[in-house]
Structure 1
Amino acid sequence: MKRQRILLLGGSGYLGAQIDSCLRTSQEHEVVATCFSGAIQPGWTRVNVKDAETFAALVSAASPDVLIWALRGNDSADAQELIEIGMRVLLAHIPKQAKLIYLSTDGVFGNKPGPFTEQEEWELLDERNPLAGYCLAKIMGEQMVREQHDHHLILRFGPIYGKNVQGIWDKRTKALVSELQEGRGVVRTENLYKSFVHVEDLGRAVAELVTSSHKGTLHLGPEEKASYYTFCRSMAKDFGYAPELVHGEILSAEKARELGIPLDTSLDTSKGRAWVKTEFRGVSGQEK
């Protein structure tokens, strides 16, 4: 079997590093991963995706069989620039036969109530939501990929958690543990639901889909949704703290609208779980 050439954009990121590790365990792939800052690891190359000329040269030289877009951006403005500049360059230089895997988010569903299937129409987040700009960038990317590259796979998922291959924890868990270490209780919302997905499981699933023939849009993650309250109680227990240190609160529908926060952006992952062999772990004690 011919070894596949894979170009992984964002290989130094929290999720990107996990995908990179999963890909390199297989002898089927030749992997080039990109980074923007920090130390370069073996098999990585430094590139500024917003430097159109340099990025175009990289894509053309790599001539990948599969390209994975795992870029996130430092903030909303940066995320939008990555799409407006980087995605435009990518779509102009990627081989037509190459498979493009674009990593998106559950945030494309705005203020509708979940769980969402892949067929659900996207909706912009309220501009008062601090993630509105980032989610807009993801929507822009989805639209460009669908319209300009037929051989694509758009992957959506909820908040990622866990320790990745580099020993890095997600910011949500790090913040929780930091608060608990100070010996004070924390408050988390009981009726704000997400499809939390472990970084190890998501990394394996993305790597698995590299060699699949599937196209279109796919939701990845466990079957069950969980509230932030349930998630944080589970994480507290895993780190050896009493779950009772995490207290619950209810966010009223009126207050949620005022803040531009959708109460349930959980995903229907039945299609994704049928497509991959990876088993997605659930959050202990989470709601069905």
Structure 2
Amino acid sequence: MKTLILGASGFLGGTIYFKLKNLGNDVLGTCNKNTNNTNLIKQDVFDVDSLLHLVNSYKPDVIIWSIMNHEQEEEIAENVMPILYEAIGDIRFIFISTSVAYEPNMSEDVKPLLRDETSYNHHYFNGKIKSEQNIKKLPNYCIVRPGSIYGINPLEIMDNRSLILKEHIESNEEYVRATNIIFSIVNVNDLADAIIELISNNYSGIINISEDEPISHYAFNRALCKMYGWDDSCIVPNIEKENIYYLNNSLRKTILKTKIGSLIEA
């Protein structure tokens, strides 16, 4: 089975690429910027002619979209995806999305919430939502809505949230985190394993993938400190405007065999 990973230089995409390669799979990965992995193909997704040529020449059985572009996600949804859909046809297409609404216990059929210009990261969230709307028209798609990704991948790369926390600890600077903002999380290695399972799975639709228990921003950072053996005295609790956006994993438990661990138990 041939797998094309668009965005294989990213934190998650690189993890999936590494794991598939180690399993002996035929896998081709792309990057947009320079990377230490010389096996990746440099590909600007906005160069749609080149992107279509890549798809048509490699002829993958599966395409994994692991690109995250916070500033241009809406442009991708409007200018790249409609053209790419035509080339996908019956190819298995796995699209890494994001949380699409702000409410507790979000199931896969939650109504997406388009953000206005005053909202944090509105281009990114709206772009993912717009892409989802069209992807649902494909015959063999799977939209993955993951929790916030953390951990150290097999390439020994640490997630950005942990790196920011580490910087505060090393500089002995207060790190104020909300106790009432609750969200879902998932370890990058568990998420990559679940996505690899979905490659050969016949499920078509949307699936949430995160740890079973949501966690506050404050508790999350303290749990990271416990896992890494760091001093957590710089983490200061506070209360902000409440924002609850965690996932319901009932469907994932019926579809996937991949075990999703828990940071809280670490």
**What TM-score, normalized to structure 2?**
0.94
Which letter does structure 2 place at the counterpart of 1:86?
V
User: Would you say 1:208 and 2:197 are equivalent positions?
Assistant: yes
One-letter code of the match for 1:26?
L
Question: How many angstroms apart in 2 are the aligned matches of 1:170 and 1:40?
Answer: 17
Residue 82 (structure 1) aligned with residue 76 (structure 2): yes
State how 1:72-221 maps to structure 2 within 5 Å.
72-73=68-69, 75-76=70-71, 78-94=72-88, 96-106=89-99, 108-109=100-101, 111=102, 113-147=103-137, 149-221=138-210
Contact 1:70 1:103 in 2 (8 A): yes
Task: Give 5+ residue unaligned stretches, structure 1.
Answer: 254-262
Separation of aligned partners in 2, 1:163 and 1:83? 30
CA contact (8 A) 1:273 1:279 kept: no
After TM superposition, the structure 1 stretch with the greater mean CA deviation from structure 2, 277-286 or 220-229, is 277-286
**Is 1:270 equivalent to 2:250 in the alignment?**
yes
Contact 1:6/1:67, CA 8 A, preserved across alignment: yes
Q: Which of 44, 47, 56 is the equivalent residue of 1:48?
A: 44
Query: Among the aligned pairs, what percent are the same residue?
Result: 28
Change beyond 3 A, Cα 1:247–1:30: same
Amino acid at match of 1:137: G
Kept in 2: contact 1:55–1:89 (CA 8 A): no
Q: Distance in 1 between matches of 2:162 and 2:59?
A: 38
Amino acid paired to 1:85: N
Q: For residues 196 and 143 of structure 1, what CA distance do their matches in structure 2 show?
A: 24
Distance 1:103 1:127 in 2: 23
What is the alpha-carbon distance in structure 2 between the residues aligned to residue 25 and residue 241 of structure 1? 31
Which consecutive residues of structure 2, in runs of 5 or more, have no partner in the other structure?
A: none
Taking the aligned partners of 2:37 and 2:158, their CA distance within structure 1 comes to: 19
SS of the aligned residue for 2:5 comes to strand
Query: Residues 19 and 207 of structure 1 are in contact (CA less than 8 Å); yes or no, is this contact kept in structure 2?
Result: yes
In the other structure, the counterpart of 2:20 is 23
Q: Which residue of 2 aligns with 1:259?
A: none
Q: 2:30 aligns with which of 25, 30, 34?
A: 34
Aligned to 2:225: 236
Q: Distance in 1 between matches of 2:263 and 2:37?
A: 32
Instruction: Measure the CA separation in 1 of the matches of 2:92 and 2:193.
Output: 18
What is the CA deviation profile of residues 9-63 of structure 1, one whole-angstrom value per residue up to 9, with x for unaligned ones? Answer: 0011111000111222324x31111111113635421111101211111111122
RMSD (Å), alpha carbons: 1.7
Aligned partner of residue 206 in structure 2, secondary structure:
strand
Asked whether the 8 Å contact 1:31–1:43 carries over to 2, the reply is: no
Distance, in Å, in 1 between the alignment partners of 2:228 and 2:142 is: 36
Moved more, 188-197 or 32-41: 32-41
TM-score for the superposition, normalised by structure 1: 0.87
- Equivalents in 1 of 2:182, 2:248: separation in Å? 13
Is the CA contact (8 Å cut-off) linking 2:169 and 2:232 kept in structure 1? no
CA distance in 1, matches of 2:257, 2:21: 18
Give the AA of the match of 2:93.
L
Q: 1:191 to 1:176 in 2, by over 3 A?
A: same
Deviates more, 1:216-225 or 1:236-245: 236-245
Cα deviation for residue 64 of structure 1 reads 1.3
For residue 26 of structure 2, give the secondary structure of its aligned residue in structure 1. strand
Q: Distance in 1 between matches of 2:42 and 2:241?
A: 46
Equivalenced residues, count: 266
